[in-house]
A = this chain, B = another copy of it.
Amino acid sequence: MPKESDDLSTLGELGESAVLGRIFPRLPAASAQLLGPGDDAAVVAAADGRFVVTTDLMVHGPDFRLAWSLPHDLGWKAAASNLSDVAAMGAVPTALVVAIAAPADSPISLLEGIADGFRDACGALAPGCGIVGGDLSVSDTLTIAVTAFGDLAGRPPVLRSGARPGDVVAVSGALGEAAAGLRVLFAEALDANGAPDAVLASLVRDRTTAQLTPSPPIADGPLAASAGATSMVDLSDGLAIDASRVARASGVRIDFDRGALGADPDLALGGGEDHSLLATFPPGARLPGGFRPIGTVVAPADDEGNVSVILLDGKPYTVSGWDPYTGWKDSGVAGGSAG
């Protein structure tokens, strides 16, 4: 864990200029940066005349709790989850811009830790990717807004809509481990009043890594594209939900092999936030990187009605899961049931 400052000064005491002076030196540089922070805007290289872009908000409450996540965790996860969206297009992440709104009485160490988390996640998961710009603001609710960019290197983007019957369904990365980590936090890191507790969370740290600091296989995104992946998606809302998006966009169904989903197939299918990569490959394709087969793409049902597009060992699997507006008071562990 990198050393954060012991300085207890608050953002409000230091002021924007001093805060920026403390944060800038910690940020990772981007190889694609042509002009970095300090002007009205940055300039980033887009060698093939296009860029991939994705944006995401992490909000205190629904997305994380400060009692459970260290500042370094927050930066790491914000980076990892956005890098994964870029990778899921088959692109190499090139740069991020990051805007943070924090309470004025936050200690400077909060922003230093977040910055270090971004630096370490970029270094570990997407070397060469860095932060080219950002914004600091004040809010009662700690909020981290990340926009991430990627380079397709001349390849077409890998869409959700390209899966074809007969394709192999494969995944790279964990299934259900982030949700299992969240279950541990809800089961073992709430105080007597039901509030998240930092000391209890520290005791279960080794079982919550996949939730707090996921390490998605970013390099496998471009590898999948080069290997001819017909569709790809980042697993943010859970395998069953995200696969159903691929199935609907492609006009197919996806049949998962229960034996390939580990000890707890319902957790693997329902758990969100792994940020693993789900891709489909033509039959017989050699799976690149860390991809392993977990199912098959099958033709759509004759009945176009309200039929499940997700199967488990050939039987319809009912998908349920996360909704940011209706579901945020839940534990985030989406449920599913074989039916």
Contacts and interface: CB of A to CB of B under 8 A. Distances in A.
B132 A53 contact: yes
Given A41-B86, A50-B34, A88-B40, A59 B132 contact: no
Nearest to A139: B59
Interface stretch (A8-16, A65-73, A174-182, A194-202): A8-16
A148 B14 CA distance: 29
A323 B39 contact: no
A227 B38 CA distance: 24
A251 interface: no
A220 interface: no
Contact of A89 (B40, B85, B97): B40
A97 B49 contact: no
B137 A59 contact: yes
A82 to B, nearest CB: 9
Contact of A47 (B39, B49, B104): B49
Interface of A: 11-17, 19, 34-35, 38-57, 59, 61-63, 85-86, 88-89, 91, 95, 97-101, 104, 132-141, 143, 145, 147-150, 152, 157, 159-160, 232-234, 249, 323-326, 328
